[in-house]
Structure 1
């Protein structure tokens, strides 16, 4: 549940995607990026955690997806690609995207209050002891960060309504090459 660090972190993700070389050691990349001041977080420990988080997310994209992210995607598709990397990084977020966002969108229940997250977490906690052991403050932090990510990715309006994400044919094909089921994390793209 380390997605509680930051939000979508799009700018940091783009920088890391552009500097990461396959096979490069994380420690070398991290030191170089920290030296360049990539993160806007104030403390070195926060920067290190955030960069590790972003680096891990970017690692869940294929080389072709990373290339598309950097060279062809417009801002909205960059947000969508980073959202995809978040979903691939965290099973809980992926399940939330498919079981809550997509299902609510398909049934035209577009309002998304905090209680929707709380209910989903409670249902998952019945099946997963580690979720059941989370403190109420941790649950509140996870909810806050996930909703922030959803807004920053363009999936949730400021008013708390689910918004569809329209992907280009090229981006859809790239995602389908990796895993066609991943299209379901985008409301309006895969039933």
Structure 2
């Protein structure tokens, strides 16, 4: 299967990318890979567009040097590939901020959530249509909310119906794990979770801007800064 990079966009007859079965948010791994990418090349003339397949340039080095400190070769390759795919949806400027020592750990988590939401359209739509809306309506979210979202999307994306029960459970669990690790929800992971409003730090707010499309991925009632 041909590898796909960058932001996933809704197109007619396009199947969702549904490979987010492991890893949660992968923030520490994302920082390592972002640093290697930024260190390996100068800033491009247009630093605010997704880097796309250019991220491939670091993948083999990250694996061969075991930069992510993963015990088995197979797991190392799998996690590195997943991290690189998500980072391909960030711009050079966003990767540079992710790699910077000046940015807060929380903003790093937000950047990795942005990466996941952009690379996986399904996750991005869940974030904007369910997580954000549930926060505006009642400030809680549950597995039942996720399941209703899947049923609704399956009307236009029949590939969701072909996913096995075990894989569907992994996908749901990993979305909720990523939200918890991003600091967006807290509470019982198998029950009703409280939604935590997101507030960008000054560096991330300045980079994304007040009208950034990325703000739709976060629970907030107003400006993100």
Q: Normalising by the residue count of structure 1, what TM-score does the alignment of the two structures yield?
A: 0.89
Residues 24 and 142 (structure 1), Cα distance of their counterparts in 2 relative to 1, 3 Å cut: closer
The match for 1:37 is 66
> 1-side partners of 2:136 and 2:75: how far apart?
38
1:16 aligns with 2:46: no
The match for 2:219 is 187
1:175 aligns with 2:223: no
1:99 positional shift: 0.3
1:132 aligns with 2:161: yes
> 2-side partners of 1:164 and 1:144: how far apart?
21
**Retained in 2: the 8 A contact 1:150–1:156?**
yes
For structure 1, which runs of at least 5 residues remain unmatched after alignment? none
144-153 or 60-69: which moved more? Answer: 60-69
The match for 1:144 is 173
> 2-side partners of 1:8 and 1:93: how far apart?
12
Residues 25 and 57 (structure 1), Cα distance of their counterparts in 2 relative to 1, 3 Å cut: closer
1:69 aligns with 2:98: yes
**Retained in 1: the 8 A contact 2:198–2:219?**
yes
**Retained in 1: the 8 A contact 2:55–2:87?**
no
Q: Normalising by the residue count of structure 2, what TM-score does the alignment of the two structures yield?
A: 0.76
The match for 1:120 is 149
**Retained in 2: the 8 A contact 1:96–1:120?**
yes
1:79 positional shift: 0.3
- Over residues 10-64 of structure 1, what are the superposed CA-to-partner deviations in whole Å (9 max), with x where a residue is unaligned? 11100000001358672x6223212332335443222212111101111211111
**Retained in 1: the 8 A contact 2:87–2:115?**
yes
The match for 1:155 is 184
For structure 2, which runs of at least 5 residues remain unmatched after alignment? 1-17, 42-52
> 2-side partners of 1:15 and 1:84: how far apart?
17
How many residues are paired up?
188
Task: Point out the structure with the larger helix share.
Answer: 1
1:79 aligns with 2:109: yes
- Over residues 92-151 of structure 1, what are the superposed CA-to-partner deviations in whole Å (9 max), with x where a residue is unaligned? 0000000001001111x2222211111111111111111121111111110111111011
1:188 positional shift: 0.8
